[in-house]
Structures are given as C-alpha cells and as structure tokens.
Structure 1
Amino acid sequence: MTHAIITILLWFSAISCGLLAGLYFSFSTFIMRALGRVEAPAGMAAMNSVNAVIQRSLFMPLFLGSSLVALMLVVISLFQWHQPGSVAAFAGGVIYIGGMFICTMAFNVPLNNALAKVDPASADGGNVWGHYLRDWTRWNHVRTVASTVAMILFIYVISVR
C-alpha cells in the first residue's frame, strides 16, 4: 500500500512540475518579452491583470499542492534512504521547494506586489517596469529550471522503483 501511495505522489509531482515548468518557460521565453515590447503602462496593466487572475485560478492549488507533495517526498525519502531512487526523490523535492516555491515567495511575489503599487502613468512607472521585467524574468528562469530538473528527477525515481 505504501508503495502505491508513494508512486501516486511521484506521478503527481512529475506531472505538476512539468505543468509549472511549462508555464514558467512560457513567461521566460516569450510572454515577458512580448509585454516588454508594449508601452510601459500597457505592459504593467497586463502583468497586474495576470497576477490578479492567477491567484484565483487552478494555478494556486497546483502551486501549493505540488510544493506540499514535494516536501512529503523529501521526508519520505529520508525514511526510505536505502530504497532505489531515494536520493533523487530527495534532490527533486529540495530543488523544487527551494528553486520554485521559495524563489517565488521570496522574489517573484514581492516584485508582483511592488508592481501593483505603482501608478503606470507616473513618471517613475517606466523605470519600475524596466527593473521589474529584468528582475522578475531572472527569477522566473530559476523557477523554470528548478521545476524542470525536479520533474526529471521524479520521472527517474518512477523508473527505478
């Protein structure tokens, strides 16, 4: 029974990491560039809209659920260290929690909150937007890589169990 539950957790983690990696990849490779090509007030308004909508979407349960399951896999792997794939499960969970969840909460969310407080039409709006685009995207690259690496590690664990 425990084997089946762990397998379900691993599949959930692999799929959710893949879904979030794809979302973050989209922002890193073309969405942020597209928003950077429009006038600052329009780009800021669009990003603020995305940030408001995403908080009330299926993204949030997936974001939080995948983080919780990754943490569970870290703990489980510590108790089953001798099992095949435990080191990879541990590494996948740690990379995901640190590179995706903590990065989001420590960097991307504060940048989103700061952007929401700026008047896009103000003289400072363009400067804030330029810094936001650079910094938010940089941290989003971290989330993309962390989610992708975690997905690969979780798929590896599934294959060796």
Structure 2
Amino acid sequence: MTYAINTILLWFSAIGCGLLAGLYFSFSSFIMRALGRIEAPSGIAAMNSINAVIQRSAFMPLFLGSSLAALILAGIALFQWHQPGSVATLTGGVTYVVGMFACTMAFNVPLNNALAAVDPASSNDANMWARYLRDWTFWNHVRTIASTVAMILFIYAISIR
C-alpha cells in the first residue's frame, strides 16, 4: 500500500512540478519582458489582473497540492531511506518546497501584494514598476529552476523504483 501511495505521489509531484516549471518559465522567458515593454500604469494593471485571476484558477490547487505532496514525499523518503530513489525523492521534495513554495511565499507574494497597493496614476510608479519587474523576475527564475530540478529528481526516483 505504501509503495502505491508513494508512486502516486511521485507521479503527481513530477507532473505538478513540470506544469508549474512551464508556467514559471513562460513568465521568466517572455511574459515579464512583454509587460515591461508597456507603460508602467498598464503593466501594473495587467500584472495585478493576472495575480487576481491566478488565485481563483486551477493554479492554486496544483500549487498547494504539489507542494504538500512534495513535503509528504520528503518525509516518506526519510523513513524509507533504504528504498531506491529515496535520496532523489528527498532532494526533490526539499528543493521544491524551499525553492518553489517558500520562495513564492517569502518573495513573490509580498511583491504582488505591494504591487496591488500601488496607485497606477502615481508619479513614482515607473521606478517601482522597474524594481518589481527586476525583483519578481529574479525570484521567478529561482522558482523555475527549483520546479524543474524537482521534476527531474522525481522522474528519476520513479525510474529506479
């Protein structure tokens, strides 16, 4: 039974990590650059709209579910250290929870909250928008890499089980 649960969690986590890595990659590769090319008030309004919509989308259950699954997998790996793939599972789980979930909560969400509080008509919005784009995108790169590495490690763990 534990083997089956572990396998299901590994597959769910690998797929979830891959989906979120793709989303984060899109933001890092072109979405944030595209938003940075438009006037600050319009960019701020667009990003605030994205942030509002994403919170009420399929992203949230996947974001939270894959984070919880990765945390559970890391815990299981600690107690099943003798099993093939446990090092990859533990490393993938920790990488995902710290590099994706904790990073999001500590950096991207506060930046989003600060952006939501900005008056787009303010005279300082261009400087704030430039800082937001730089800082948010940096932390998004971290999330992209962490999600991709975790996905690879989970797939590796699946392949050697």
Q: TM-score range by the shorter chain?
A: over 0.9
Please name the residue that 1:17 is paired with. 17
Q: CA deviation at 1:76?
A: 0.2
1:1-150 residue pairs with structure 2 within 5 A?
1-150=1-150
Q: How many residues align?
A: 161
Which ranges in structure 1 are unaligned for 5 or more consecutive residues? none
Q: Deviations over 1:46-83 (max 9, x none)?
A: 00000000000010000000000000001000010011
- Contiguous gaps of at least 5 residues in structure 2: none
Contact kept in structure 2, 1:24 and 1:141, CA below 8 Å: yes
| Counterpart AA for 1:125 | D
In 2, the alpha carbon distance for the partners of 1:30 and 1:145 equals: 16
- Counterpart Cα distance in 1 of 2:5 and 2:87: 18
- Following TM superposition, the consecutive aligned residue runs of length 4 or more in structure 1 with deviations greater than 4 angstroms are none
Cα distance in 2 between the residues matched to 1:7 and 1:118:
45
Amino acid at match of 2:27: F
State the AA in 1 paired with 2:135: D
Q: Check conservation: 1:44, 1:120, Cα contact below 8 A.
A: yes
CA RMSD of aligned residues (A): 0.4
Report percent identity of matched pairs.
Answer: 80
Partners of 1:83 and 1:116 lie apart in 2 by: 47
Conserved in 2, the CA contact under 8 Å of 1:48 and 1:115? yes
**Would the aligned equivalents of 1:120 and 1:126 in 2 still touch at CA under 8 Å?**
no
The 8 Å contact of residues 17 and 150 in structure 1, kept in 2 or not, is answered as yes
Partner deviation per Cα, 1:84-111 (whole Å, 9 max, x = no partner): 1101100000000000000000000000
Aligned-residue offset at 1:4: 1.1
TM-score (norm 2): 0.99
Q: Which deviations, in whole Å up to 9, do the C-alpha atoms of 1:101-146 show, x marking residues without a partner?
A: 0000000000000000011111111111000000000000000000
Secondary structure of residue in 2 paired with 1:56: coil
Q: TM-score by structure 1 length? A: 0.99
Matched to 2:62, the amino acid is L
Partner AA of 1:116 in structure 2: A
Q: Look up the SS of the partner of 1:119 in the other structure.
A: coil
